[in-house]
Structure 1
Amino acid sequence: MIPMPQVAQVAQTIQLALAPVFLLAGLGAFLNVCTGRLARVIDRARVVESLVLATRGKEHDRFVDEIRKLDRRMTVVNSAIFLTVASGASVCLVVILLFGSELFHGHIGRPIAFLFIAAMMLQAAAFVTFIIEIRLASRTIHIRNEVLFHKAEEDEGA
C-alpha cells in the first residue's frame, strides 16, 4: 500500500508548483497575443487574395508581393504558437511530476529540472520567433510614396 502524504507535504508541493502555474498564465497571455496577430494577418490575406485576382500590371505585382509576405508571417506566427504550446505542455508535465514525485516518493528532481529547462528553451525560441514576425511586419507595412506625396487635383473653377 502506498503511504499517503501528509497535508504539510502536499501544501509544500503546491507551493513548489505555484510558480510554474503562474508561468502557464503568462504563456496563455502570450498565446492570446500571437493568435490575435495571426487573425489580423489572415484577415488581411483574405482581402489581398481577392485583390490579386482582380488586378493586373504593377498593382497586381504589388499585391502578389504582399500576399507572399503575409504567408511568411502566418508561418512564423504559427511556429511561435507551436513553440509556446509545447512549452506549456512541458510546464504542465513539470507540475504533474512534482506531485507524482511527492505522492510516490520518487527522486526525480533532475528530470523535473531538465524538463523545466526545456520548457524555458522552447519559450525562448517562441519569443525569438515572435520577434522575427514583428520584424517581418515592420518591413512589410509601409505607405507607398505615391500615397505619401499625392496631391489632390485642384478645382478648375477656383
Structure 2
Amino acid sequence: MFSPGLSTVAATIQTAIAPVFLLAGIGSILNVLAGRMARVVDRVRALEVLHPRSSGPEHERHVRELRILDWRIWVINWALSFCVASAVAICLVVALLFVARLVNLHIGTTAAVSFIFAMLMLTIGLLLFLFEVRLSLRAIKVRAELLEHDR
C-alpha cells in the first residue's frame, strides 16, 4: 500500500494554501450576496402587503420598485451561482493538487484550466454583483417632494 511521505503532504498543503485563501474570500462574497438577497426578499414581501392597498402614483411606484426588485433577485441569483461555481472549481483545483501529488499524475494542465475556469466564474459573479448594486441605486430615488427643497 502506498503511503505518502510527510514532506510530500506538507509540500502539497503549502501549494494549496493560496486556493484555500481564495475560497475564504469567495465565502465572504457569497455571504454578502446572500445578505443582499435576503434584504431584497424582505422588501418584496413588504411591498406585496402594500401593493393591493395602493392606488395612483403610489401604486405605480410600488409596481416600478417590484419590477426592479424582481430583476435584482434574478441578478443576485446568477451572481451567487457563478460564485458557487468558482468555489467548486477551486475545490477541484485543491483536490487535483493532492491527487496529482499522491499518485504522481501529470495533470497540471487540468488544474490550470480548472483555476482559469474558477477565475472566469468569479469574475462574472463579481460583475453581476456590481450590476446588482447599480440596480439597487436606480431603485432608490428620493422623490423631490420628500426633499423639501422649497423650505
Q: TM-score, normalised by structure 2?
A: 0.95
> 1:26: which partner in 2?
25
Q: How does 1:69-148 map to 2 (within 5 A)?
A: 69-148=68-147
User: Distance between the aligned counterparts of 2:148 and 2:76, measured in 1?
Assistant: 33
The AA in structure 2 aligned to 1:113 is: A
- In the TM superposition, what is the alpha-carbon distance from 1:49 to its structure 2 partner? 1.3
Q: In 2, Cα distance between the equivalents of 1:123 and 1:145?
A: 39
Q: Show the counterpart of 1:63.
A: 62
CA–CA distance in structure 1, aligned partners of residues 33 and 68 of structure 2: 17
Distance in 1 between residues matched to 2:23 and 2:43, nearest whole Å: 30
Deviation at 1:150, TM superposition (A): 7.5
The CA deviation at 1:50 is 1.3
User: Once the two structures are superposed, what CA deviation does each residue of 1:52-89 show, in whole Å capped at 9, x if it has no partner?
Assistant: 11111221111011100011011111111111111000
1:149 to partner: Cα distance: 2.0
Q: Which has the larger radius of gyration?
A: 1
- CA–CA distance in 2 between the matches of 1:148 and 1:42? 27
| In 1, Cα distance between equivalents of 2:150 and 2:45 | 30
Tell me what 2:45 maps to.
46
**Residues in 1 aligned to 2:37 and 2:119: alpha-carbon distance in whole angstroms:** 23
Give the aligned CA root-mean-square deviation in angstroms: 1.4
Cα drift, residue 136 of structure 1: 0.4
Q: For 2:90, give the aligned amino acid.
A: V
Q: Which amino acid aligns with 1:132?
A: F
Q: Deviations over 1:100-149 (max 9, x none)?
A: 11111100000000100100110000000000001101111111112112
The total of aligned residue pairs comes to: 151
The residue type paired with residue 86 of structure 2 is S
Any gaps of 5 or more consecutive residues in structure 2?
none
AA aligned to 1:148 is: L
What do the CA deviations read for 1:10-60 (whole angstroms, capped 9, x no partner)? 110000111111111001100111111111111111111111111112211
CA distance in 1 between partners of 2:46 and 2:116 (Å): 42
Tell me the distance in 1 between the aligned counterparts of 2:60 and 2:141.
16
